[in-house]
Amino acid sequence: MAETYKGFEDLPPMPVCTFSAKEVSKTGAWRAQRPKFLKEKCIKCYICWKYCPEPAINIGDDGYIAIDYDYCKGCGICAKECPKNAIEMERERGQ
């Protein structure tokens, strides 16, 4: 059974993407699904940001996440790890 974390402070140490999105290739062009962020459910735990394998999730000045669809490859890890289901995966438009 997977552990449930309340926030990024509870997560075990792990690698985090710390470089600028401009340093990597855009991966959003071949995505089949896209994450849809539901702000009203978000508790600002940033688990999605920590687990994202691409520099696709940013934290805004208001403390909420913003998804950069140019770099999101639609893997769904953010939605799977979100403890409050504040991210849902939906079919990519035009698919």
Is residue 73 within 8 A of residue 57, CB to CB? The reply is no
Contacts with 92 (C-beta within 8 Å, 6 or more apart), sequence order: 31, 32, 33, 34, 74
pTM: 0.73
Distance CA 9, CA 66 (A): 20
Q: What is the pLDDT of residue 59?
A: 93
Domains and CATH numbers, the chain: 25-91 (3.30.70.20)
Tokens of 68: 């950069």
Q: What is the pLDDT of residue 95?
A: 56
Q: Three-state DSSP class for 51?
A: helix
Q: What is the pLDDT along the chain (95 residues), one digit of tens a residue?
A: 456 666 767 776 765 655 555 556 777 778 899 999 999 999 999 999 999 988 899 999 999 999 999 999 999 999 999 999 999 999 987 65
**Residue 78 buriedness (CB in 10 A; 0-12 / 13-18 / 19+):** buried
